[in-house]
Structure 1
Amino acid sequence: MTAQDIIQQIKKGQVAPVYILHGEEAFYIDQVSDYIEKHLLDESAKAFNQIVVYGKEVDARTIIDEARQYPMMAERRLVILKEAADMKSINDLADYLKKPVPHSTVVICHKYKKVDKRTAFGKACDGKEVVNLESKKLYDNQLPNWVLARGKETGIKLDEKGANMLAEFLGNDLSKIDNELSKIKLNAGDKLVTIEEIQDLVGMSKEFNIFELQTALASKDHYKSWLIANYMAENPKASPIQMAVSSLYNYFVKVLTTTQKTNASDAELQKDLGLGSPFFVREYKMAAKNFGEEKTRAILVKLMEIDLKSKGVLNRHADDGPLYKDLVRFVLG
C-alpha cells in the first residue's frame, strides 16, 4: 500500500485503528502523518481528542492509555507517536496492536529505518487491523521521474532537463526536493519553468555546474571542461567535489550501459537508462562513442579513487582543486 492509497482510503472514510509508517524515506511518512493530523478530526474535536507525542518523551503505557480513552463529542480519538524508534518500551505496544480499540486511531511514525520484524513490536505490525507503510528510498535513476510526477501533482510545469537538474543537484532527499518545488511554484505559477529559473532558485551557476561539466566531458570539449572544473575547484562550497563525483559516477554508469547496448534503439536505451524521455539519449550515445567501454570502466574506477581521496583516504591533503584537475585530466587523457 502506498502513501496515496492510505490517504485516498481515509478520504473515503475507511480509517484503520492503527497505522505503522516506517522506513528510510521520511517524505512519505510525513505526508501520511501530516494528512491524518490535519484532516482526520474536525477542528472542533481536536482539542480533546487529538494528541501528538514523541518517542523520547513517553512510554508504551502512555500511548495505550490515551488510545483506550473514549472520545469526547467525536467519533474517535487520534494518537500520533512521532520518532517511535526512540521509544525504549516500543515492544510493549505489541499486545495493543493485536487488539486495538475501535474508537481510536493510533499513528506510529518510525522514520529513517525499517521496523525490525523479529521483535515483538515488529511481529505485531502485521496484525489484521494494522495498516503498514514501508517508505523506501528511491534509487537515483528514479528521481527525475519522481520530480516530474511531484511537480505535476503540485501544478508545476517542468521539462525533463529541469527535473534531472533538480534531482542531481539536490540529491536523494525527497523532502528537500519537495521544498524546492514549493518555492518554484510560488515564483513560476502556471508557466513552464526554465532551466535558468531553476538555477536561480536553487543557487546554481548557469554556466559552471556539474551538468555543464558532464556535457563538456561527454563531447570531449577540453576548453569548456577545464573552464568549468577550474571554476568549481575555486568555489568548493557551491560545488563540493564529493557531490560532483557522485553525479559523474551515476552519469558514467549510464554511459557504460550505453556502450554495452550498441544495437539498442533509442526507446530501448531510454528504458534501460531509466530516463523519463529520449531527450538525453543522444548525449549518452555521444559519450559512449567518445570513450568506449574500456575507458568508461577506467573512469568509474578513477571516480571511486577520487571519492576516497576527497574523504582523506589515500590522500593527506583532500583539497578540491587538485582533485578536480586530476579528474578532468584523466577523463580527457
Structure 2
Amino acid sequence: MNYEDILANLRNKIYHPVYFLMGEESYFIDQISEYIAQHVLTEAEKGFNQHVLYGKDTDVDTIITYARRFPMMANHQVVIVREAQNIKKIEDLEPYVKNPLKSTILVLSYKYKTLDKRKTFTKQVAKTGVLFESKKIYDNQLPAWINSYLKAHQYSIEPQASAMLAEYLGTDLSKVANELNKLIISLPGQTRITPDHIEKNIGISKDYNIFELQNALGERNILKSNQIINYFAANPNSNPFTRTVASLYFFFMKILTYHFLEDKSQNAVASALQVSPFFVRSYVSAAKQYPIRKVVEIISILREYDMKSKGWGNVSSDSGDLQKEMIYRILH
C-alpha cells in the first residue's frame, strides 16, 4: 500500500492490526502515525486505550504486553512505538505479528532504516498488516509534490514559484510542508501562489535566484547574469556557492541531453529532462545559444569551480570572486 491508500483506508475506518512504517523519508511516517493517534480514538477513549512508547526506552516484550491488552470501553486500543529503529531484535515481534490481537492497532515508526524484505518477519508483517516504505523523493519530483500538497488544501502555485521553493527548501518534506502551511496562513482569501508571495513571505528573491540566473545564462544576457551573481556573492548565506554550482551543473546537463533528443516535441522534452512543460522553452532557447561543444566545456568549468570552492587549486579567492570568475568563463 502506498501513502495515499493507507490514509484513504484510515479515513474510511479500515484499520489493520499492525502498521510497520519504515524508510528514509520521515514525513510520510509521521503523517500516518499522527493520523492514527488523532483520529482512531475519541478524546475520552485515549486515556485508557492509547499508549506511546519509545524505542530507546522499551523492548519487544514490553510492546507485546501492551499490544495484547484488550481495550476498555472502546472498540480499539492504539499502541504507537516511536523511534522503533532503536529496538534491539525487533524481529522477535514475529510471534505477535503472526497472531495479532484484532482490537489492537500497533504502529511502529522505523525511521531512516528499512527491514530486509527477504526475512520472514518482514514478509509476515506484509501479510498480516501494513508494511510501508517511505522513500525519499528526488529533487525533480519536489515541484510536483508541492503542487499536489497545495491542491489538497485548495491552493495552486505558479510553476516558477514552485521551482523556487523546491530549489531553496530542498527535499526535507517536513520543512517544505511547514513553509507551505505558513504561506497558506499568510494568504487569506487568495488561492494562487506567485513568486511575489514567495519573496514576501519566505524571503526568496523573485529577481535574484538560481532560476533567474539560469534564464539569464540561457539567454546569454551578460548584464543580468552579472547582476545576479553579484547579488549571490553579497549574500552567500542564502545563496551558497556549492548549491549554485550544483544547480547550474544540472541545468547544463539538461541542455546537453536536449541536444541529443530525437523527439523535440514539448511533452517528449519535458519527460526526458524531467521538468514541467512550462520550462521546456527555456531549455530550447538555451540550446540555441550553447552548441554541444560549448556545453561540454561549461560542464568541465563547473566541475573545476566546484573543486576550487572546496580548496583544490585555490589559495586566496573567496567564494564571491570564484562565482564571478566562473560566470565570466561560462559566458565568454
- TM-score tier by shorter-chain length is over 0.9
Cα pair distance change 1:266/1:130, threshold 3 Å? same
For 1:167 and 1:68, locate their aligned partners in 2 and report how far apart those are by CA, in whole Å: 45
The offset of 1:290, in angstroms, is 1.1
> Counterpart of 2:184?
185
Counterpart of 2:98 in structure 1 is: 98
Instruction: Kindly provide the amino acid, as one letter, of the partner of residue 211 in structure 2.
Output: F
Within a 5 Å distance, the mapping from 1:171-320 to structure 2 comes to: 171-189=170-188, 190-261=190-261, 263-276=263-276, 278-313=277-312, 315=314, 319-320=318-319
Provide the residue aligned with 2:30 in structure 1. 30
Deviations 1:188-210 (A, max 9, x none): 23332221111222211232221
**CA displacement 1:61-113 (0-9 Å, x = unmatched):** 11111101111111111111111112223232222222222121111111122
Q: Are residues 303 and 110 of structure 1, via their aligned partners in 2, closer, same or farther at CA, if it must alter by over 3 Å?
A: farther
When the two chains are superposed, the root-mean-square deviation of aligned CA atoms in Å is 2.0
Deviations 1:241-286 (Å, cap 9, x if unpaired)?
A: 122222222222222221222651122212222233x321111111
Offset of 1:123 from its aligned partner? 4.7
Q: CA 1:78/1:290 → structure 2, altered by over 3 Å: closer, same or farther? A: same
Residues in 1 aligned to 2:229 and 2:259: alpha-carbon distance in whole angstroms: 25
Structure 1 residue ranges without an equivalent (≥5): none
Partner of 1:272, secondary structure, is helix
Aligned-residue offset at 1:313: 4.9
**Which residue of structure 2 lines up, in the alignment, with residue 86 of structure 1?**
86
In structure 1, what is the Cα distance between the partners aligned to 2:192 and 2:254? 28
The reply on whether 1:132 has 2:131 as its aligned counterpart is yes
Measured in 2, the distance between the counterparts of 1:49 and 1:57 equals: 20
CA distance in 2, matches of 1:134, 1:316: 46
Contact 1:258 1:284 in 2 (8 A): yes
Partner SS, residue 110 of structure 1:
strand
**Residue 109 of structure 2: aligned partner:** 109
Equivalent-residue separation in structure 2 for 1:273 and 1:42 (angstroms) = 48
More displaced stretch, 292-301 vs 309-318 = 309-318
Partners of 1:25 and 1:217 in 2: CA distance: 34
- Seen in structure 2, the aligned counterparts of structure 1 residues 291 and 9 have a Cα distance that, compared at 3 Å, is same
What residue identity is the alignment partner of 1:54? Y
The 3 A distance-change label for structure 1 pair 229 and 8 is same
8 Å CA contact retained: 2:154, 2:191: no
Amino acid at match of 1:184: L
Q: Quote the Cα distance in structure 2 between the aligned partners of 1:7 and 1:320.
A: 46
How far residue 309 of structure 1 moved from its aligned partner, in angstroms, is: 3.5
Aligned partner of 2:249: which letter? Y
What secondary structure is seen at the aligned counterpart in 2 of 1:132?
strand
Residue 46 of structure 1: how far off its partner (Å): 0.5
Deviations 1:213-251 (A, max 9, x none): 111111111111112112211211111112222222222
Letter in 2 for 1:225: S
1:142-195 deviation line (CA, Å, top 9, x unaligned): 111111111111122211111111111111121111111111111123332221
The alpha-carbon distance between structure 1 residues 114 and 308, as it changes in their structure 2 partners (threshold 3 A), is farther
Separation in 1, partners of 2:326, 2:310? 15
Q: Alignment length, in residue pairs?
A: 331
Once residues 179 and 231 of structure 2 are traced to their aligned partners in structure 1, the CA distance between those partners, rounded to angstroms, is 25
Does the CA contact (< 8 Å) of 1:90 and 1:121 recur in 2?
no
Residue pair 2:60, 2:93 contacting (<8 A) in 1 also: yes
Deviation at 1:325, TM superposition (A): 2.1
Task: Give how far 1:328 is off.
Answer: 0.7
Alpha-carbon distance change, 16 to 233 in structure 1, aligned in 2, over 3 angstroms: same
Matched to 1:187, the amino acid is S
Hey, what's the Cα distance between the residues in 2 that align with 1:314 and 1:141? 32
Report the Cα offset of residue 124 of structure 1.
3.9
TM-score, normalised on structure 2? 0.93
Contact 1:260 1:293 in 2 (8 A): no
Structure 2 segments unaligned to the other structure (5+ residues):
none
1:55 lines up with 2:55 in the alignment: yes
Contact 1:155 1:185 in 2 (8 A): no
Aligned residue identity for 2:159:
E
AA of the residue aligned to 2:24 = E
